[in-house]
Amino acid sequence: MNTFFKTFFASLLAIFVSGILFFIFSLFVFAGLLSVLSSSGSHSQRGSGNLQPHSILHIDLAQPITDKPVENALALFDYSALSFRNQTTLLDAVSRIELAAADPGIDGIYLEMPLALPTTLSTLYELRQALSDFRESGKFIISYADVYSQGSYYLATVSDQIYLHPQGGLSWEGLSANVLFYKGLLDKLGIRVDLIRHGRFKGAGEPLILDRLSDENRQQLTSITHSTWDYLCQEIARARELSPDSLQAYADRLAVATPLDALRLGFVDSLLYRDQLRDRLNLLSHNTDDETDPHLIPLADYRGSEAVRRRTLSADLLGDPNSDHEIALVYASGDIVDAGDRDEQIVGNTLAETLGEIRRDPDIHAVVLRVNSPGGSALASEIIWREVRLLHESDKPVIVSMGDYAASGGYYLSCGADYILTAPTTLTGSIGVFGLVVNLQEGASRHLGITSDGVRTAPGADMGNPFRPLSPAERLYIQNGVDSVYTRFIDIVAQGRRLGIDTVDTLAGGRVWTGLQATENHLADATGSLRDAIRLAVQQAGLSESDYTLRQYPEPEEPTFVTLLGSLSGSIVTRLGLRSGTPAAGSRQLDRELEHLRPLLPESGIRADMPFTLEWQY
């Protein structure tokens, strides 16, 4: 009994002390939040208030530009630094660049390129389009880097002048794309995978059953890589007054080995140290005081003055907040799932419900659907497609704007729209379907001594049991389901794109296309940016350029005391590791690594996924 009471009171004391520590920690966090909110509020006011004359908009590409806004403001809070990370979306960036073009306080733009570029090619395309229009204002754009990657150099070529550190570097060796294969590992583990698909190009799952690219996958991967590379060469050649053939020759010979090579071959205009860059910026912004630094306004802080905003409403993508006419911008980003986290994934019924609410809202006149997805659940894709089609039939124009990916299920849900605009480097198409079934029987028995046995009322009652192989009848059953979904996929593409069934079938088979190729074969209407899609939606809705307001779904949430108070307690519990299932800090890197494998792992249901997880080496 004495032992019981000792244990009981020791546990009670531990709970009491933990509660006090938690309370003290909460006070510190609240104090930090209040301090940050106060400073961020005043900082925001400085950014949107009076600009000093001859200011320069500073776009530091080391700061990520996200496609979709973060719905929960607390997700932007860095607990280790007790400060908020800046959230700059693509829409924010493009709107502010347009605003700066009309702002008399802004003399030009300084693009600073990092060593590692946390921005995708399709985002770079959108920024480059906005910067190209900015140049028409007569204001300057210059770029500087210690080292240019091929992606950052592509963006830099929109500049009037490109500067490079004298001991830096410029990569120019062409594009590459590689796929990892896991069949050898699975063989060692005694794991067998059945891949059941429709479409010879539908290579999703091939890394689990092959040890190298299939002929079909090699063909399509070669095609989209060369299409993207040719586009980059043509755009760079046009901007730098070089020929695409010479750019290809320089890559073939690895001719750009030193900064002097980059200067000699016309890639850059000058080699400058940062102090010399400072002097050049002062000269360009007419700053005659050599003792002062140029006045740089970070992109995340820039808002422009109220006077400028009033004068440029017609050029502001966000529109007029006082207008009664609304355009909905709906983000569909991530893997398409039947159930999951709507902040990280596209949840079929959740997004469909949002689209249904928009359809019934009389104040919303058109919809821009921003799709950034490699695909996922075929059922969830169908559910979303249905709501997109109903929007179309309700006389609310639907414009799809494709980001980095709009493939397989991402293309499926896009086909109900009135127009599809794609970036030249978007990966789209992949009209195909597959299913995966894993057999762990051999590996579990040989390595772990695990076996399985049971009873069933019919031969296929435990179909999909990972401890036995599929029977021929079960494989045929799954194949019929895959074929049925593929036929449906072909039908909705033919209907939405106004193409013949046979024509769609020749473009399908799971084949992936770049945005340029998709436009040429009529799977998309045109290449264009998100802002092009918004303007097209305004036009199709019969509204004027200055008489609309843009409503985003999800709506970006500013970090205010009220929003933080509502979610702080649960977040603190999670961060402290007090909630069951919370990953330790050391496991987060592993989570990120496993995320690359996630699209290849078997899941329930028939899937419409990209045939590979592709990351350009640019």
**What are the tens digits of pLDDT across the range 38-61?**
444 444 334 444 578 889 999 999
State phi, psi for 320 to the nearest 5 degrees: -100, 115
Residue 459 above 60 pLDDT? yes
Tell me which H or E stretch contains 599: none
- Residue in 615, 617, 581 with CA at minimum distance from that of residue 595: 615
* Banded model confidence at residue 11, pLDDT cuts 50, 70, 90: low
Residue 25 above 90 pLDDT? no
Q: Which residue has the tokens 């928009």?
A: 358
The per-residue pLDDT for 2 is 56
Higher per-residue pLDDT: 606 or 42: 606
- Residue in 395, 407, 463, 461 with CA at minimum distance from that of residue 435: 463
Averaged pLDDT, 188-202 = 85
State phi, psi for 438 to the nearest 5 degrees: -105, 140
Averaged pLDDT, 473-489 = 90
- Residue in 244, 210, 201 with CA at minimum distance from that of residue 506: 201
Share the mean pLDDT of the chain: 83
Averaged pLDDT, 8-30 = 56
The per-residue pLDDT for 287 is 72
Averaged pLDDT, 238-256 = 96
The 3-state secondary structure of 91-121 reads HHHHHHHHHHHCCCCEEEEEEEECCCCCCCH
- Give the whole-number percent of the chain exceeding pLDDT 90: 53
The per-residue pLDDT for 568 is 46
Query: DSSP letter at 29?
Result: H
Q: How far apart are CA 202 and CA 509, in angstroms?
A: 6
Distances from the Cα of 59 to the Cαs of 88, 112, 169, 192, in angstroms? Answer: 11, 6, 20, 50
Higher per-residue pLDDT: 190 or 3: 190
* Banded model confidence at residue 86, pLDDT cuts 50, 70, 90: low
Specify the range with the lowest mean pLDDT, choosing from 34-48, 105-119, 200-214, 313-327: 34-48
Residue 13 above 70 pLDDT? no
The per-residue pLDDT for 177 is 85
Q: Which residue has the tokens 């990953």?
A: 583
User: Cβ distance 361 to 392 under 8 Å?
Assistant: no
440 token code pair: 């762990």
User: Cα 399 vs. chain centroid, distance in angstroms?
Assistant: 18
Residue 290 above 70 pLDDT? no
State phi, psi for 330 to the nearest 5 degrees: -110, 125
The per-residue pLDDT for 9 is 54
The per-residue pLDDT for 370 is 97
Q: How far apart are CA 412 and CA 7, in angstroms?
A: 60
User: Cβ distance 131 to 531 under 8 Å?
Assistant: no
Higher per-residue pLDDT: 399 or 475: 399
Model confidence pLDDT, tens digit, residues 378-404: 999 999 999 999 999 998 999 999 999
Which residues, other chains included, contact 174 with Cβ-Cβ below 8 Å and sequence gap of 6+?
229, 251, 252
The per-residue pLDDT for 30 is 52
The per-residue pLDDT for 562 is 44
Model confidence pLDDT, tens digit, residues 580-600: 333 333 344 334 444 444 544
Domain 52-172+256-311 has CATH 2.70.98.40: no
Alpha helices, DSSP H, located in 397-500: 409-412, 441-443, 472-497
CATH architecture assignment, domain 317-432+471-555: Alpha-Beta Complex (3.90)
The per-residue pLDDT for 204 is 75
* Banded model confidence at residue 608, pLDDT cuts 50, 70, 90: low
139 token code pair: 């204001």
The residue type found at 591 is D
Q: How far apart are CA 31 and CA 38, in angstroms?
A: 11
